Chain A
Amino acid sequence: TQLLEQSPQFLSIQEGENLTVYCNSSSVFSSLQWYRQEPGEGPVLLVTVVTGGEVKKLKRLTFQFGDARKDSSLHITAAQPGDTGLYLCAGAVSSGSARQLTFGSGTQLTVLP
């Protein structure tokens, strides 16, 4: 069973601060995705990282995939209230005919104005 541990579980910061969310596993994933989810809605894909050591930037968000493809981090620079939400990492493993996602435990981020 692949498990993804996210930390911190809850994070409350002031607007303008920086933050990092971590996603760790003892298993190797073929790719890893980060999602953001708002209450009452489905998760929205932010990024997919595939190669060990890969870094992707999406405006103020920087995503990194560990060299061994077991861990990942999400760094947000100058957080804004609009960044508030539940951030989920999800590791993809090939399972038969489809790619099955294993979700991390989630990080609830609140950015205060």
Chain B
Amino acid sequence: GAVVSQHPSRVICKSGTSVKIECRSLDFQATTMFWYRQFPKQSLMLMATSNEGSKATYEQGVEKDKFLINHASLTLSTLTVTSAHPEDSSFYICSASTGVGQRRAFFGQGTRLTVV
């Protein structure tokens, strides 16, 4: 099956710094990628949807200047958490879809972000 790789799997950073998380589709072209945030024992909350070559669409309540998303190629999307604070600590997951009519999105393994 299709593989989506997220990097890093874990990151610890200091308050005020920025952290970049990468999401790569390894064996297919992902026209659309989704970024989710998940708190412990809770469900996934969609943060934004990004289409290759265009600006991401953010869900209500998600600050686009705080969570910068770039989808510059059909195999790579990045999420940058800018000026991170402890409350940004969470599990971030990406998924990738091949586009129109596709029922399935493939999930990365997630990134555990801890801001200290």
- When the two chains form their complex, are residues A103 and B110 in contact, meaning their CB atoms are under 8 A apart? no
A44 proximity list for chain B (CB < 8 A): 107
B93 at the interface (CB under 8 A from A): yes
Taken residue by residue from 1 to 43, chain B's Cβ proximity to chain A (1 for < 8 Å, 0 otherwise) reads as 0001010010000000000000000000001101010000111
B46 proximity list for chain A (CB < 8 A): 100-103
B112 proximity list for chain A (CB < 8 A): 40
A105 proximity list for chain B (CB < 8 A): 42-43
Taken residue by residue from 95 to 116, chain B's Cβ proximity to chain A (1 for < 8 Å, 0 otherwise) reads as 1010111111101111010000
- When the two chains form their complex, are residues A103 and B43 in contact, meaning their CB atoms are under 8 A apart? yes
- When the two chains form their complex, are residues A98 and B32 in contact, meaning their CB atoms are under 8 A apart? yes
- When the two chains form their complex, are residues A101 and B34 in contact, meaning their CB atoms are under 8 A apart? yes
- Count of A-B contacts judged by CB separation below 8 Å: 71
B49 at the interface (CB under 8 A from A): yes
- When the two chains form their complex, are residues A98 and B107 in contact, meaning their CB atoms are under 8 A apart? no
Interface of B is mostly: strand
Chain A contributes a number of interface residues (CB within 8 A of B) equal to: 27
- When the two chains form their complex, are residues A97 and B103 in contact, meaning their CB atoms are under 8 A apart? no
A45 at the interface (CB under 8 A from B): yes
Instruction: Point out the residue from B45, B49, B109 that lies within 8 Å of A42, measured CB to CB.
Output: B109
Contact residues on B (Cβ < 8 Å of other chain), bracket: 20 to 34
Instruction: Point out the residue from A31, A92, A97, A106 that lies within 8 Å of B99, measured CB to CB.
Output: A97
CA gap between A99 and B97 in the complex, in Å:
8
Instruction: Point out the residue from A35, A42, A106 that lies within 8 Å of B42, measured CB to CB.
Output: A106
Show the binding face of B for A, using Cβ within 8 Å: 4, 6, 9, 31-32, 34, 36, 41-46, 49, 51, 91, 93, 95, 97, 99-105, 107-110, 112
19 extra interchain contacts, Cβ-Cβ under 8 A, other than A6-B43, A45-B104?
A31-B103, A33-B103, A35-B107, A41-B109, A42-B93, A42-B95, A42-B107, A42-B110, A43-B93, A43-B107, A50-B103, A88-B43, A97-B31, A98-B49, A99-B101, A99-B102, A101-B46, A103-B45, A104-B43
